[in-house]
A and B are shown apart, each in its own frame.
Chain A
Amino acid sequence: MTLFNSKNDSDLSLLDETLERYGDVPENLITVLQSAQEIYGYLPTDVIIRISQRMGVPITKIVGVATFYSQFRLTPIGKYLIMLCKGTACHVNGADGIYDAISSHLGINDNETTEDGLFTIKCVACLGCCSLSPVMMINDDTYGSLTPEKAINILDSISQKEGNA
């Protein structure tokens, strides 16, 4: 597995405001990484190096933290992030079937991105909407009471919208 996407042309000035605000206190590392990921979509190598220099936190520690928490990504993701819930309630109500359906439909597994860069699948544990299980979230929208068919229709309508755009 390649841990790094050794990118070195990120626009680091986008990070200035965050570092200005939180960069002086090493305890803020996670907050800074969250904000960086918000900006770049993932944590590019040059961004990690910049954070390390500014905050005085070793790169090894940053990578340690970034790989510990499931929220952080070291590689880019698709335009649409599918967060598929595999929490207990969703499991009991058939989340595995939804996963199989969307995974074979898109031809990718958990944590992978489609070749056209449109979709990334990420399995998570509980989105807090357990009563609507099984549930998935695509970017900011939550879809509940899924069936394999319904899930695929949702993906298709997104693909179509993108195709026409």
Chain B
Amino acid sequence: MKVVVGQGSCGIAAGAGKAFDILENKLNKNHELTFTGCIGMCYLEPIVDVYNNDELHRFVKVSGEIAEKIAEAVNNNDFSISAEYEIADDDKAFLSSQTRIALRHCGLINPEKIEDYIADNGYEAIKKCVTQMTPEEVIEIIKISGLAGRGGAGFPTWFKWNAARNSESEDKYLICNADEGDPGAFMDRAVIESDPHTLLEGMLIGAYAIGAKEAIVYVRAEYPLAVKRLKKAIKQAREAGFIGKNIFGTDFSCDFTIKAGAGAFVCGEETALIESLEGSRGMPRLKPPFPAQSGFLRKPSNINNVETFANVAWIINNGGEKFAAMGTETSKGTKVFALTGKVNKGGLVEIPMGKTLRDVIFGIGGGIRDGKEFKAVQMGGPSGGCIPAHLLDTVIDYKALSATGAIMGSGGMVVMDESTCMVGMAKFFLDFTAKESCGKCTHCRIGTKRMLEILTRITEGEGKPEDISLLEELCYSIKDGALCGLGQTAPNPVLTTLKYFRDEYTDHIENKHCTAHECSKLVKYKINADACRGCTACAGKCPTDAITGEVKKAHLIDRDKCIGCGTCMATCRFGAVEVE
């Protein structure tokens, strides 16, 4: 039998390494033990798959104990003893309701084995391109497919390739943007950790199409495992002759380098990324000239996102029409989302464009945790916006999502429930953008800081009636005045929360009240003397020693010492801590 342990970063963090070690020790040697990348059901990690000929037994939340049981089951070929640890039918739908193209190999192949990739038509698409097609024909197929950039802006990929193709130069560069800056998104990490050769093949096809001899992958600093697997993949592909000189005996040559980012959100913006590749501070350049004319080292360059490239080999193998057959009028193919936050089933979701937000959050994601109320979903991270409950039937389509004030973004989908304060959320994002602003242009540097100050005082109960209009004025002037996408989109979280949750702003300003009970300066806790059993648990947990009382007698919170953190409320097993 073949036993496969999911070992993406989140699987490992959840304890997949331990499960692997136990299986390695306990399994009889006639069974094959291997690993795969991210299966995508992060909420069930660690996951172990056992293939008994064609039969799949999938075990979830595999602790050390369960791993021992699995080994026993495999060794004795008796799965009745481990049946209770297998995935529930309800959870199986998480994967079966998806359509996977970019993620087509994730969780199925061993990312560190090129043979696994080759076994599923791997490197056939680049072979077809270089031996049977002109670069123009390749670009034509991508045009037919309707593939648009998955990094956020959704710009047609063929158009960028064509522009770079038409730029005259001996040296051109093909660059992959794997900076994945949206905090709360991990689609690109999953692709690289789970299927690095798909990225390499897509990039090779792009390099052939534009006429580049060098390809560069710019990977986020916080992704050590992705870098490790990518390095290994490049080495294997080079040894196999897919990378390097005269690929498939043709005169197409292309080599790869990896550059690790150093922790700066703005470097996801393509011109800042180029500055960073050149060893400088990542400050965006004015456009035009566009990278297609003057990019890395002032040579024509083309930059695409990881997921964009991950679709390319599939499109070449299956035809542009087949890709374009999925989706809506304006958005073709599928999109990968990283579904997280207060949702029941968090993980990686790839679905055809045209499905609704409800399909994703309530269908695949299984709705909201702990029976709470859905409040909003944040799409596009700090550059995007929130979409409230009454718009849950919005379809996943570049145009439809932009119409809400949010954006498709790169795929981050953070779900919020009634306990999330929307003013607090806006403040959270402005805190992020103000810190990450590179400082080159005044509007972004100072404007985001001023907005953060206003939002901070609103959440602390010091808001003034004129603050809302001041915020709006700042939003529009930053949008108009900022040099790059970071500043131009930074006001979006404020604009969308103002649009859909204006009441919460006024409630904070006028009534000094936070409905979500999240703004600690506005929440006052008290202990209900009748419900309190005097167990002292809250007093022990209180970080400021604000709670006093004797054992078995009702406790008391000292108003002056209380910082409103809510630890007591979370600790109390008797529901005795209340908000005033």
Contact = CB atoms under 8 A, between A and B. Distances in A.
Interface of A: 26-31, 33-34, 57, 61, 64-65, 68-72, 83, 85-93, 97, 100-101, 104, 124-133, 135, 140, 142-144, 148-149
Contact of A132 (B14, B416, B438): B14
Contacts of B341: 88-89, 92-93
A125 B183 contact: yes
B186 interface: yes
Given A64-B281, A88-B414, A104-B543, A131 B262 contact: no
Contacts of B282: 68-69
B527 interface: no
A128 B223 contact: yes
A88 B380 CA distance: 11
B264 A70 contact: yes
A126 B279 contact: no
Interface in B383-430: 412, 414-416, 420, 428-429
Contact of A34 (B260, B381, B415, B541): B260
B342 A128 contact: no
Contacts of B415: 92
B412 A34 contact: no
Interface in B176-232: 180, 182-186, 189, 220-224
B480 interface: no
A120 to B, nearest CB: 15
B279, B381, B412 — which one has the most chain A CB atoms within 10 A of its CB?
B279
B565 interface: yes
Contact of B259 (A31, A69, A125): A31
A121 B223 CA distance: 19
Contacts of B189: 128
Given A28-B279, A127-B222, A88 B428 contact: yes
Given A31-B260, A70-B262, 15 more contacts: A29-B279, A69-B262, A86-B183, A88-B182, A92-B341, A124-B263, A126-B184, A126-B222, A128-B186, A128-B189, A129-B42, A130-B184, A130-B340, A131-B42, A140-B224
A129 B13 contact: yes
B292 interface: no
A22 to B, nearest CB: 10
B135 to A, nearest CB: 27
Contacts of B9: 127-129, 142
6 contacts: A88-B378, A92-B420, A93-B341, A129-B10, A130-B186, A133-B340
Given A69-B262, A131-B43, A89 B221 contact: no
A133 B282 CA distance: 29
A104 B565 CA distance: 13
A88 B13 contact: no
Contact of B412 (A68, A71, A86, A88): A88
Is chain A's binding surface mostly helix, strand, loop or mixed?
A: helix
Contacts of A104: 543
Interface in B99-128: none
B180 A72 contact: no
Given A65-B281, A132-B10, A125 B265 contact: yes
Contacts, number: 140
B279 A27 contact: yes
B338 A144 contact: no
A130 B338 contact: yes
A122 to B, nearest CB: 10
A29 B281 CA distance: 11
Given A65-B281, A133-B340, A30 B262 contact: yes
Given A130-B184, A130-B186, A131-B42, A72 B262 contact: yes
- Of the four ranges (under 10, 10 to 19, 20 to 34, 35 or more), the interface on chain B belongs to 35 or more
A149 B540 CA distance: 11
B347 interface: yes
Contacts of B223: 128
A70 B263 contact: yes
A128 B180 contact: yes
Contacts of B567: 97, 148
A147 B259 CA distance: 35
Contacts of A57: 279
A132 to B, nearest CB: 6
A65 B280 contact: yes
A33 B281 CA distance: 13
Given A126-B185, A142-B13, A27 B565 contact: no
B13 A30 contact: no
B10 A131 contact: yes
Interface string B277-305: 11111100000000000000100000000
A88 B10 contact: no
Interface string B141-153: 0000000000000
Interface in B221-256: 221-224
Nearest to A141: B13
B432 interface: yes
Contacts of B184: 87-90, 126, 130
Contacts of B438: 68
B487 interface: no
A144 B543 CA distance: 22
B276 interface: yes
A93 B417 CA distance: 10
A85 B340 CA distance: 14
B43 to A, nearest CB: 6
Nearest to B15: A144
B12 interface: yes
Contacts of A71: 221, 262-263
A151 to B, nearest CB: 12
Nearest to A145: B14
Nearest to A104: B543
Nearest to B518: A96
B346 interface: yes
B262 A93 contact: no
Nearest to A149: B541
A88 B183 contact: yes
Contacts of A129: 9-10, 13, 42, 186
A68 B415 CA distance: 32
A127 B280 CA distance: 24
A101 B566 CA distance: 12
Nearest to A64: B281
A31 B277 CA distance: 10
A112 B110 CA distance: 40
B183 A135 contact: no
A91 to B, nearest CB: 5
Given A27-B278, A89-B341, A135 B428 contact: no
Nearest to A92: B341
Contact of B279 (A26, A124, A128): A26
Interface string B425-468: 00011001000001000000000000000000000000000000
